């Protein structure tokens, strides 16, 4: 089986149609179809269910996806190592991050990194904590940011611990003036991103007896602030998410200490890739410069 067949298989999985996979690979749709048919013949089972909307992995196709991804990752590491030997420092990187890291950290990290390694291509995948961990596990991204705890057998480096705050409308004043208690949030609606109703945010809401039917969802952190500003409810946001957002709202700590720990995650195989090792060093240096005494690395 040729590596091109694996590349075609991966492209169809990523783009979900044969046509879009062909565009991405700069080949004809018939070449994509022929390659998939040939791969299915060699493997002895169908890989995709074709329908009007595109192509969906069969259960057997889903089983071999991590293996194909590992083969492609190994080829990429080989190319990177050869480039390092030749002194070219080329390669590619796929970084997974949630929104506040994309906004506050990555622009500076990538700008400095590209100045030092201009031939390394970087792709950013923005997603939620669990999806980033899952993609790192199967190798579709090389390195990513998530929040503890992380149960998978991955390489995890805690970076910083940041406080989680309660966001309220401007006219809301808690009983104790400077912090929010369980009594303050009783019977209040909360506005979250659906992907954030997890880990530390859920722990805070559960501790304060916030009922699931009192939770409304918004599309991003800035929208949460806008809805809180309009008096539609309260929000919960960590320190990093608040740094480049604006809104006429109040920001209070809870009377109990709630933090989330941001961690850098990769798997044992991808961690050995030269480009992954380089970006890991760059990220850790950035965190040390920015947070100094409060960092965890």
- Check for a shared fold between 88-151+262-291 and 160-260: yes
Answer positive or negative: Cα dihedral of 12, 18, 23, 27. positive
| CATH node for 3-66 | 1.10.10.10
For domain 160-260, the CATH architecture is: 3-Layer(aba) Sandwich (3.40)
Query: What is 240-268 written as a DSSP string?
Result: HHHTT---SEEEEEBSS--EEEEEEEE-T
The domain ranges of the chain are 3-66, 88-151+262-291, 160-260
pTM summary value: 0.75
pLDDT at 293: 62
Q: How many CB atoms lie within 10 A of CB 19?
A: 16
pLDDT at 186: 87
Quote the Cα angle for 133-224-172, to 5°.
130
User: How far apart, in whole angstroms, are the C-alpha atoms of residue 152 and residue 263?
Assistant: 13
Buried/exposed code over 175-187 (b: 16+ C-beta within 10 A; e: otherwise): eeeeebbeebbee
| CATH node for 88-151+262-291 | 3.40.190.10
pLDDT at 209: 82
pLDDT at 57: 94
pLDDT tens string for the chain (297 positions)? 568 899 999 999 999 999 999 999 988 888 899 999 999 999 999 999 988 888 999 999 999 999 999 999 988 888 888 877 666 677 889 999 998 999 999 999 999 999 999 989 999 999 988 899 999 998 999 999 999 888 778 999 999 999 999 999 999 999 999 999 999 988 888 888 876 666 677 778 888 888 777 888 777 888 889 999 999 999 989 999 898 888 899 999 999 888 889 999 999 988 988 899 999 999 999 999 988 765 565
pLDDT at 149: 87
């Amino acid at each position: 089986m040729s590596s091109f067949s694996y590349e075609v298989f991966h492209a169809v999985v990523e783009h979900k149609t044969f046509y879009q996979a062909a565009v991405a690979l700069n080949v004809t749709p018939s070449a994509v179809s022929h390659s998939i048919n040939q791969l299915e013949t060699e493997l002895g089972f169908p890989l995709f269910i074709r329908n009007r909307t595109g192509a969906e992995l069969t259960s057997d196709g889903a089983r071999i996806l991590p293996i194909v991804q590992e083969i492609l990752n190994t080829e990429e590491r080989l190319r990177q190592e050869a480039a390092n030997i030749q002194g070219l420092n080329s390669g590619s990187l796929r970084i997974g991050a949630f929104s506040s890291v994309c906004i506050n950290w990555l622009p500076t990290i990538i700008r400095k990194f590209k100045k030092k390694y201009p031939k390394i291509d970087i792709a950013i995948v923005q997603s939620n904590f669990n999806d980033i961990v899952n993609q790192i596990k199967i190798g579709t991204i090389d390195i990513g940011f998530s929040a503890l705890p992380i149960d998978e057998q991955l390489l995890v480096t805690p970076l910083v611990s940041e406080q989680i705050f309660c966001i309220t409308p401007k006219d809301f004043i808690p009983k104790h003036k400077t912090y929010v208690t369980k009594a303050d949030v009783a019977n209040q609606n909360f506005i979250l991103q659906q992907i954030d109703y997890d880990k530390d945010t859920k722990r805070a809401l559960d501790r304060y007896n916030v009922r699931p039917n009192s939770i409304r969802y918004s599309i991003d952190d800035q929208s949460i602030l806008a809805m809180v500003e309009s008096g539609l409810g309260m929000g919960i946001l960590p320190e990093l998410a608040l740094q480049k957002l604006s809104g006429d709202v109040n920001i209070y700590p809870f009377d109990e200490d709630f933090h989330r720990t941001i961690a850098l995650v990769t798997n044992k195989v991808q961690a050995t890739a030269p480009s992954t090792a380089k970006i890991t060093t760059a990220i850790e240096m950035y965190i040390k410069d920015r947070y100094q005494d409060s960092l965890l690395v």
